[in-house]
Structure 1
Amino acid sequence: MSSPSVTMAVWSSAWLSGAAAADDVLDALQDWAELHEVVAVDENLAASLEIPVRGEPGGVPTVLLAALRRAGVDGGRLVMPAPGDVRGLGGASAFATEAVRAGEAVVLSNLGVVPERVAEGIVRWAVFEVAQATPPPNVPLGEAEHELTGAMRVAAGMLLELGVAKQRTGVREELQARVAERTKARWPAGMPQRALRVLQRAAEVSAILGLAMEDEPGGALSASAALKRAEALRPLFSAVRTARCAAVADAVRALSDHAGRL
């Protein structure tokens, strides 16, 4: 598992292609929070989608799924923007701002959906109308996997260089627990194995990077050292984002093909 948006992109696409039931989507989202609610960011969009407007109690995700079906949407696209990297967001907009803040979103035709954890056990999905954005260049899954494998070696070396293992007792067990938590997920029937493998590897690299970014016990790391560490790890975070987007794109294509053969 990597993010709520990965789950939403894969499972909503599976439902739209007929490879999953609406209840399957809801069950998969439970891995992230007990309650998910959906709101539109303005009244016109709320009226056209027949979902509550932001500021009112949210609707259930199946209401959004029904709206997507009525609109003829056939699949979703994962975006994982970061400051300085806003490809695929359709330019400056309220959607782009919130997607960058969240670090993730799903684009479904002319709609952008951004998750926000508003309270313990509650994720709210804000729906925006977006311009028909040109998708970022499609990175082949094999290329993304190769880059991610290299990133994992570099990240592991960075842990040694930073002395994380020396600073934290039981770091190996802690890392294993983080990886287990991040890879705990359910996927639709027909999910391609290579995409699953890349998502698993991305979760492993992300767990390593999470450890590497944390302050050492006592907070003794200087500001300059923290900045240097963040700069060194930035390409690795980018490799994780690229790999996740490539894996989701591959999964959405495969699920659509799988449904077409049923």
Structure 2
Amino acid sequence: MVVWTSAWLHGAAASDDVLDALHPWADAHEVRAADADTAARLDLPGPDDVPDGPALLLAALRKAGAAGGELVLPVPGDARGLDGATPFAKHAMRHGEAAVLPEARIGLVPHEVADGVLRWTVFGLGELAPPEHVPIGEAEHGMSSAMREAASTLTDLGVAKHRPNVREEIARTVASRPTPPWPQNAPQRALRVLQRASEVEAILWVATDDSPGGALSASATRARTEALRPLFDAVRSARRAAVAEMVRVLAGQAGKH
């Protein structure tokens, strides 16, 4: 949503391309404003109205003067990209992801409301801190470093263990993630970083799944959690940096035409 709407707002993609790119994530997408004021400002269905489709959201973004988006991936203890203790921030934290369009003061939070149905709730935003810029190279290096450190720490703690068919488990986890199309001129490095982040996340989920061998002791579980937390953070940072790089490059290319 962040990449494609930004490309569309800069004239680097058609609206139909944006709508088509949403399909891998859900069979149907619907849109509704979080409150009556936001609904009135953007001509969107309100919280008590029947939701509408994402084409209406694109019209609302254009009307509100949106110029580009930012990806937010909040977790407890890390509220970067949010706007304080607002309904948007609470909703984004609950679902772990959101899109922010700062010029339009709009936030979008997706969540599944039924099998195959993804709802985008639209919020008006409060005061936002300046976005944190992490160069994509720095984020990529940080993810690789965190992975090496986590592997070393888990081995030292005796938490790492042999697991049959682990490569197959990781491959299945990666394959289960939707793979949406990207704009034609999306930078290849950013796409590689997103792919690598998905692979590392799959490794993390396999590493924290105790089902084949039984649960670890409480102390071992805590040690594993502490060892892996920096890697989870690095994956989130890499994803945000890759999306920001795609938005930057696509906007720059559109500006040259």
Q: TM-score, normalised by structure 2?
A: 0.91
Task: Report sequence identity in percent.
Answer: 57
Please give the secondary structure, in 1, of the residue aligned with 2:121: strand
Letter of the structure 1 residue corresponding to residue 57 of structure 2: L
The aligned counterpart of 2:22 is 29
Tell me what 2:174 maps to.
179
Partner of 1:195: 190
Q: Secondary structure at the match of 1:204?
A: helix
Q: Distance in 1 between matches of 2:162 and 2:28?
A: 37
Partners of 1:239 and 1:36 lie apart in 2 by 30
1:244 and 2:207 correspond: no
Q: What's the CA shift for 1:226? A: 2.3
Aligned equivalent of 2:37: 44
Aligned CA distance change for structure 1 residues 57 and 218 (closer, same or farther; 3 Å): farther
For the 8 Å contact 2:154–2:224, the answer to whether it is kept is: no
Q: State how 1:44-63 maps to structure 2 within 5 Å.
A: 44-63=37-56
| Shift in alpha-carbon separation, 1:165–1:29, aligned structure 2, 3 A | farther
- For 2:152 and 2:166, the matched residues in 1 are separated by 14
- Cα root mean square deviation, aligned: 1.9
- Count of paired positions: 253
Residue type matched to 2:46 in 1?
A: V
Distance 1:185 1:156 in 2: 30
Partner residue in 2 for 1:254? 249
Please say if residues 162 and 212 of structure 1, whose CA atoms lie closer than 8 Å, have aligned partners that are also in contact.
Answer: no
Q: CA deviation at 1:155?
A: 5.0
Superimposed CA distance per residue, residues 202-240 of structure 1 (whole angstroms, 9 cap, x where no aligned partner): 111111111112123264323333232222111111101
Which letter does structure 1 place at the counterpart of 2:226? E
- Structure 1 CA distance, aligned partners of 2:135 and 2:206? 28
The aligned residue for residue 109 of structure 2 is 114
What SS does structure 2 have at the residue aligned with 1:139?
coil
Q: What residue identity is the alignment partner of 2:31? A: V
Counterpart code for 2:204: L
**Within-5 A mapping of 1:94-109:** 94-109=87-102
2:223 counterpart of 1:224: no
- Paired residue secondary structure (1:182): coil
Shift, 1:179, TM fit: 2.1
Q: 1:78 is matched with which residue?
A: 71
Closer, same or farther in 2 for the Cα pair 1:154/1:261, shift >3 Å? same
CA distance in 2 between counterparts of 1:143 and 1:118 reads 36
1:4 paired residue number:
none
Matched, 1:15 2:8: yes
CA distance in 2, matches of 1:32, 1:26: 11
Cα distance change of structure 1 residues 71 and 127 upon mapping to structure 2, 3 Å threshold: same
Aligned in 2, Cα 1:178/1:158: closer, same or farther, shift over 3 Å? farther
Do 1:155 and 1:209's aligned partners in 2 also have CA atoms closer than 8 Å?
A: no
Give me the whole-angstrom Cα distance separating, in 1, the residues matched to 2:219 and 2:131: 33
Aligned 8 A contact 1:38 1:125 in 2: yes
Query: Does the 8 Å CA contact 1:117/1:123 hold for their aligned counterparts?
Result: yes
User: What CA distance in whole angstroms lies between the structure 1 residues aligned with 2:152 and 2:19?
Assistant: 39
CA contact under 8 A between 2:86 and 2:126: conserved in structure 1?
no
Q: 1:252 to 1:212 in 2, by over 3 A?
A: same
Shift of 1:164: 5.1
Judged with a 3 Å threshold, the aligned counterparts in structure 2 of structure 1 residues 22 and 57 are, in CA distance, closer, same or farther, namely same
Task: Give the 3-state SS of the residue equivalent to 1:46 in structure 2.
Answer: helix
